[in-house]
Structure 1
Amino acid sequence: MTTANDLSQLTAKAAAFIGGEKGLFIDGEWRAPRSGETLPVIDPSSGREVGRIAQASADDVDAAVASARRALEDPAWARMKPHQREEIMLRLAELIRAEAPSLAEIETVNSGKLIANTRLFDVDLSVHTLRYMAGWATKLHGETMDLAVPYAPDMRFNGFTRRFPAGVVAAIMPWNVPLCQAVWKLAPVLATGCTVILKPSELTSLTALRLAELCDEAGITPGVVNVVTGTGEVTGKALIEHPGVDKINFTGSTRVGQFIAEQAAPAFKHYNLELGGKSPLIIAEDADLEKAIPGAAWAIYGNSGQNCCAGSRVLIHEKHFDRVVAGVADIAASIRLGPGLDPASMMGPLVGAAHRARVAEHVERARSAGGEVIGGEIVEGDGSYFTPAIVTGLDHGHPTAQQEIFGPVLCAFPFKDDEEALQLANDTAFGLGASIWTRGLATANRYFERLKAGTVWINTHNILDLSLPFGGTKQSGVGFELGREGVMSHTVLRAGVMLVDE
């Protein structure tokens, strides 16, 4: 097994960017961090350093927020016509499309993901996101209405509403889909006329920095888009606590989401939180197993299980339990681990050694509790590889079955009827996604109505579309990204009343 990416395969543009000097993008300029501190960029396939990024301090964050505030009130941006914002977004989409090969390579080296996935889900989906959201720039309208005003019967009033930009947005992204998450957060900002400070994960910052260069090339007004890199404990915390931020858009852990809510409440800041998940995948008695078995396998093993709505709990009708477990185990055993740049690889490494250690700890806790584990082993040698696992025989309340692992670990449970399946499915602190696999329309409707999740898939899993809102319930978050809801959450509504002279 070849474990390390062959960096000699990279295009010259990708290689130069990965190894080149990187600063902070503030007010349309590249700046060195005031502290001079930097952080390593690690290739997860080898564990080796391939570059460095800036560590932004609180002072750097302050400069980025000030830049975004100035741009929000700059007539060049504030008075820009909606169709002009649309044109800029479409121009940025085309620049990303043109840079697709190098962007995918940069993302693969930085994140460990398969090159096919970084091309499809980071680059191509980013292009589609910008194109979809660009259309909203010219469709942000209010309403007009005749008012009753019963206490002034002899006077006539018209009422109307308008939508305005929510203001300066702090957008904090995770490391699992780095470029696409950055664009998901950037696109509604541009469509609505807000301004933004993007803070990528310190593990996967490279494509956000390249995105900043493309924003500049697209002609976006300086200060509208700022990118600061650094750790969550320093850079992220300074951004969350900054009084000049009007809205926080965060994707990541529930723990950090709770901190954001605590910090935002006293200042009445707006926020969207897309947090953790422990999504159930339910295989009903009448399911088509030829589709459900591979569906269950790739719902958890896709992207090495590093998906917020991965199907990490599979609930199987007892009649099919042994067959489904054996089928998923066979697929897991057939998965070829390898570096993301190798087109023969079916699953890449986890994002880093520290994360792999946390995933492995969950598996060991399951073994110690009497669970039967197939797979789930650390691969010795270079890189942070971990074999896909399926766990049976655990109590459903065990931490491995309840906590988000964010790795290729599937917990399987049998159920005897729909009531038990629904009880198990909803028996979690999370509520991001869920899927039901069935041939029956009535069964599908019954589960759709009773599953406590932001998205319910039927005979599929992990399918997202830009026109559908994406978000969760319970500890999976607050608010939505994508769709109309994702756009409108970046606006504030203002009501007007006008006296009509008769």
Structure 2
Amino acid sequence: MERDAMNWIAGEWAGKPVLASSDPSNGETLGRFVSSNTQDADAAVSAARHTFDHTTWAQDARRRQDVLLRWAQALELSVEPLAELLTHENGKTIGQARGEMRAAISEVRYYAGLARHIAGHVIEPEPGTISTMLREAAGVAAIIVPWNAPAVLLVRSLAPALAAGCTAIVKPAAQTSLITAAMIRCLDQPALPAGAVNLLLENGAEAAARLVESADVDVISFTGSTEVGKRIMRAAADSMKRLSLELGGKSCCLVFEDSDVKAIAPRLARAATIISGQQCTAARRILVHVSKADQMRDELVKALASLKVGPGIDPASDIGALIDAASRDAVQTTVERACDLADRVLLRGTSSGPGAFLSPTLVEHGEPHAFFCQDEIFGPFVTLETFVTEKEAVEKANNTVFGLSASVWTHDSARAFRIARALRDGTVWINDHNRLFAEAETGGYRQSGLGRLHGYDALADFTEIKHICVGAGVLEGIEVLGS
């Protein structure tokens, strides 16, 4: 599989790959990618704008479905080399990479199915007046993709954008430029009009900032940190863009007294360390009923300590490298500060080299306002807290600026639903964690973002509703009743 990556603008691959992309498990260079600037961004926007305004792409649902189905087929034919590239460039385990590629392909097919059913509705609000509501493509969509799950997070924005009839510019994170370019190369097909999809690569944010500011970009779909999401909102205010933002999280797992702690502790450990803890829905806070606290301490320490840290390409590894050494060092510094302040350090993580490896840390703390109970620490770091009543559990779980996801662990079905309804989170799992589906919308409350991706409602992030009103009148001889 070709490793070096270029920009794709107006149907042409262009630019000289000069920036290195490295394997975080060993520092080896995997390939090189283009360094884009504002001129490249302007060219990509112009291409996307022209295709949207001057072709029938937005009206041709059958063509869009065909493009998406062909993309899914091309991805499937290359699934194993793509998964291996994802593991090498991102650091995650090969099992997680294969699962991510399968999920991405499934999601492309899901939106291919929806492409031919972007339904509106018609009403007659008064006699002889026909109001038609059409759901139309919003225009040009700029899709800014993070590095933690670059395959599925590319697809969950780009697939609904294309299904809805938008044209797009994709701007991936620098650390995962190669896998994103490889997936976009699978889209290079005759049925796709030149300029319908464009790719900009960069190390930095010059091109991305141009996309956010451009008056010719109608939608920004961004997945990443809350801090960057806020900056995007401010920069996009001038042009009043539609914003689709999935931002940070601090997911709580509420474990009640009827739970089998020994059985669920290994599942919580894996939920906390998925992508080396670099997933926005990863389990961050374990809230356990006080009667099960001693057992949870023992079992969770045992489960976390048993996870093998090593190169993601090794099938025996449970936790791969963090995305790069700089991120690993920043996370480790924050974790050490948390360990200094926590009531108890139950398991202290350590780093190892030459790769960007960091083993899990578990601390126990009684004060939920502590920074490490509130801030999203993007690595294998978990806090343990206790509660006595349902009310206390919900109050602690909701005591956060985030609202992305949570889980409830209990055999009492009424309690499970009662607690789930009380939690201010976009997704709540019952006796499970990190179950995500193409068919089920995800997104956050509060500072975890705006809009929803996955599912049918993802189309709303890339469409506008147009009301067309016609005064058709009524047949001669039909009496129009007065009010």
TM range (shorter): over 0.9
Amino acid at match of 1:405: I
Cα distance in 2 between the residues matched to 1:126 and 1:356: 27
Cα distance in 1 between the residues matched to 2:309 and 2:110: 35
* TM-aligned CA deviation for residue 95 of structure 1: 0.6
* TM-aligned CA deviation for residue 76 of structure 1: 5.0
* TM-aligned CA deviation for residue 79 of structure 1: 4.2
Amino acid at match of 1:83: R
Structure-to-structure mapping, 1:46-85, within 5 angstroms: 46-75=26-55, 77-80=57-60, 82-85=61-64
Aligned residues of 1:360 and 1:376 also touching (Cα < 8 A): no
Aligned residues of 1:376 and 1:386 also touching (Cα < 8 A): no
Q: CA RMSD in A?
A: 1.5
Q: Secondary structure at the match of 1:206?
A: helix
Cα distance in 1 between the residues matched to 2:402 and 2:221: 19
Task: Indicate how the Cα distance of structure 1 residues 264 and 217 shifts in structure 2: closer, same or farther if over 3 A, else same.
Answer: same
Q: Are 1:391 and 2:355 matched, yes or no?
A: no
Cα distance in 2 between the residues matched to 1:48 and 1:487: 40
Q: Are 1:426 and 2:409 matched, yes or no?
A: no
Structure-to-structure mapping, 1:24-173, within 5 angstroms: 24-32=7-15, 38-75=18-55, 77-80=57-60, 82-121=61-100, 123-148=101-126, 156-173=128-145
Report the more deviating stretch, 110-119 or 257-266.
257-266
Q: What is the aligned partner in structure 2 of residue 8 from structure 1?
A: none
* TM-aligned CA deviation for residue 370 of structure 1: 4.0
Q: Are 1:244 and 2:216 matched, yes or no?
A: yes
Give the alignment's TM-score, normalised by structure 2.
Answer: 0.95
Cα distance in 2 between the residues matched to 1:398 and 1:342: 37
Gaps of 5+ in 2: 476-483
Amino acid at match of 1:233: A
Amino acid at match of 1:100: V
Q: Secondary structure at the match of 2:311?
A: coil
Report the more deviating stretch, 48-57 or 450-459.
48-57
Structure-to-structure mapping, 1:322-401, within 5 angstroms: 322-393=294-365, 395-401=367-373
Count of matched residue pairs: 474
Cα distance in 2 between the residues matched to 1:216 and 1:176: 24
> Over residues 369-399 of structure 1, what are the superposed CA-to-partner deviations in whole Å (9 max), with x where a residue is unaligned?
1443244433332100001111113532111
Gaps of 5+ in 1: 1-12, 149-154
Q: What is the aligned partner in structure 2 of residue 7 from structure 1?
A: none
Aligned residues of 1:294 and 1:331 also touching (Cα < 8 A): yes
Give the alignment's TM-score, normalised by structure 1.
Answer: 0.92
Q: What is the aligned partner in structure 1 of residue 253 from structure 2?
A: 281
Task: Indicate how the Cα distance of structure 1 residues 79 and 145 shifts in structure 2: closer, same or farther if over 3 A, else same.
Answer: closer
Q: Secondary structure at the match of 1:118?
A: helix
Cα distance in 1 between the residues matched to 2:147 and 2:346: 27
* TM-aligned CA deviation for residue 53 of structure 1: 1.1
Task: Indicate how the Cα distance of structure 1 residues 370 and 214 shifts in structure 2: closer, same or farther if over 3 A, else same.
Answer: closer
Cα distance in 1 between the residues matched to 2:393 and 2:279: 23
Cα distance in 2 between the residues matched to 1:205 and 1:342: 22
Aligned residues of 2:24 and 2:324 also touching (Cα < 8 A): yes
Q: What is the aligned partner in structure 2 of residue 464 from structure 1?
A: 436
Cα distance in 2 between the residues matched to 1:218 and 1:383: 41
Give structure 1 regions of 4+ aligned residues with deviation exceeding 3 angstroms.
Answer: 374-378
* TM-aligned CA deviation for residue 218 of structure 1: 6.3
Cα distance in 2 between the residues matched to 1:159 and 1:414: 56
Structure-to-structure mapping, 1:165-244, within 5 angstroms: 165-217=137-189, 219-244=191-216
Cα distance in 2 between the residues matched to 1:477 and 1:488: 15
Q: Secondary structure at the match of 1:302?
A: helix
